[in-house]
Amino acid sequence: MAPGGTLARAFGVSAGAVAAALIAVIVSSRASSSPSIVDVPDHLPAPPASALWVPKPVALHRSAAVAYWASVRSAVPGRAWPSRRAEIVAPLATKTPEDTTNIVLVVGRTRDRAGRLWVHVRLPVLPNDRTAWVPRSALGVYGAVHTHLIIDLERLTATLLRNGSAIFRAPIGVGRPEWPTPKGNFYIRDRLARYRSAFYGPLAFGTSARSSVLTDWPGGGFIGLHGTDEPQLVPGRISHGCVRFRNRDILELGRLMQVGTPVTIR
C-alpha cells in the first residue's frame, strides 16, 4: 500500500501542477486576445478642416481700376430711379440675342425707404449710354474685373488697360462714315467662339453698344469686336459699325480680357 499511496500522492501533486499550468495558459490566452491597454494622450489632435469654407464677405470698393458686373438672374424692368413706382426705362432679359447669359455693368448702389437694395446698371439699349435701377434680388453675384478697353476712333487703335496700365494695343477697323461706330461708355457683354465663319475670325466679343443705323452683328443692332478674313484692310474705316481686329490680335485680346470689362469708345 505504501508504494500505491506514494504513487497517489505523487499523481496528486502532478495533477495540481498540471491544473495550475492549464489555468495559467487559459488566462494568458484570454489576455492576449483582449485589446491591449495603451496610454491615452492628454490632448487629442484637432479634427480635420471642413471641406466647406465660406470666405469673409468683402465690401465692394470704389476704384477707377476695378469694375463690377452681375448676371441678370430674373427678367426685370430697369427703372428711372430706385423705386417700384418709377418709370420703366427698358426691360432686362436673362439672355442676350446670342443666347448667352445677360450681364449688366454696375455703376452704383443704394437702398430705398423700405430698406430694399437697388443697383444702378448700364443698359444695352438705344439711345446709347443709358442706365437704370434694378432690384438687387434680380441679379446674381458680383464679378470684378481690373481691365478697361479703350477704342480710339481717330487713331484707329484699341488699348487694353489693366489696373490703369496698358497691356495690349492693336490697330483696328471701325465703321464707315455712313455706318459709324457709336461713341460712349459700354461693356463686354459676352464672348463667342462658335460662329464658324471666316468673316468673324476665330473669336468675337459682344458689347452693350448699339448702332442706330446698321450693323453686321448677328443679333442685329449690337456692336461686336471680332477678327476678320481681310486683315489687309486693318487699320481703316471698313465696317458697318463693328470693330475688326487682325486674327492674331483678337486672340491675344481674348487671352487678356474678361467678360464684364468696361469699354470706352471715343
Residue 83's closest CA among 121, 140, 133? 133
Q: Are residues 125 and 187 in the same domain?
A: no
- Stretch 62-68: mean pLDDT: 81
Higher pLDDT, 105 or 17: 105
**What is the span of the domain harbouring residue 93?**
67-145
Whether 109 is covered by a domain: the verdict is: yes
End residue of a domain, out of 94, 124, 145: 145
CATH number for position 240: 2.40.440.10
End residue of a domain, out of 123, 145, 167: 145
Whether 6 is covered by a domain: the verdict is: no
Whether 16 is covered by a domain: the verdict is: no
Global confidence as pTM: 0.75
Q: Are residues 161 and 252 in the same domain?
A: yes
Lowest-pLDDT range, 18-32, 88-102, 228-242? 18-32
Q: What is the pLDDT of residues 73-85, one digit of tens each?
A: 999 999 999 999 9
43 band by pLDDT with thresholds 50, 70 and 90: low
Q: Are residues 71 and 152 in the same domain?
A: no
Q: Are residues 136 and 176 in the same domain?
A: no
Whether 245 is covered by a domain: the verdict is: yes
- What are the angstrom distances between the C-alpha of 213 and each of 103, 179, 240, 241? 24, 6, 9, 9
123 burial type by CB count under 10 A (0-12 exposed, 13-18 middle, 19+ buried): buried
Q: Are residues 186 and 98 in the same domain?
A: no
C-alpha cell at 184: 460712349
C-alpha cell at 51: 471641406
Report for 32-41, 134-143, 206-215: range of highest mean pLDDT: 134-143
Whether 42 is covered by a domain: the verdict is: no
Q: Are residues 133 and 169 in the same domain?
A: no
C-alpha 190 chain-centroid distance: 13
- Stretch 223-240: mean pLDDT: 96
Q: Are residues 140 and 203 in the same domain?
A: no
The answer on pLDDT for 64 being more than 90 is no
Mean of all residue pLDDT scores within the chain: 83
pLDDT value at residue 74: 97
The answer on pLDDT for 151 being more than 60 is yes
Q: Are residues 260 and 163 in the same domain?
A: yes
Q: Are residues 158 and 182 in the same domain?
A: yes
Counting the structural domains of the chain, the total is 2
Q: Are residues 133 and 178 in the same domain?
A: no
- Stretch 28-53: mean pLDDT: 52
C-alpha 251 chain-centroid distance: 20
> Which letter, b or e, does each residue of 184-223 get, where b requires 16 or more Cβ atoms within 10 Å of its Cβ?
bbbbbbbbbeebeeeebbebbbbbbbbbeeebbbeeebbb
Whether 172 is covered by a domain: the verdict is: yes
The answer on pLDDT for 135 being more than 90 is yes
- Stretch 121-142: mean pLDDT: 95
The answer on pLDDT for 8 being more than 50 is no
Q: Are residues 249 and 153 in the same domain?
A: yes
Whether 123 is covered by a domain: the verdict is: yes
What single string gives the DSSP state of each residue in 90-147? EEE-SB-TTSSB-EEEEEEEEE-TT--EEEEEE-S-SSTT-EEEEEGGGEEEEEEE-E
Higher pLDDT, 20 or 91: 91
pLDDT value at residue 200: 87
Determine the residue type at 184: G
Q: Give the count of beta carbons closer than 10 Å to the beta carbon of residue 260.
A: 23
The answer on pLDDT for 62 being more than 90 is no
Helix (H) or strand (E) holding 22: helix 2-33
The answer on pLDDT for 153 being more than 80 is yes
Q: Are residues 165 and 260 in the same domain?
A: yes
CB contact at 8 A, 129 and 222: no
CATH number for position 98: 2.30.30.40
End residue of a domain, out of 145, 170, 190: 145
- Stretch 142-169: mean pLDDT: 97
pLDDT value at residue 20: 47
CB contact at 8 A, 141 and 68: no
Whether 163 is covered by a domain: the verdict is: yes
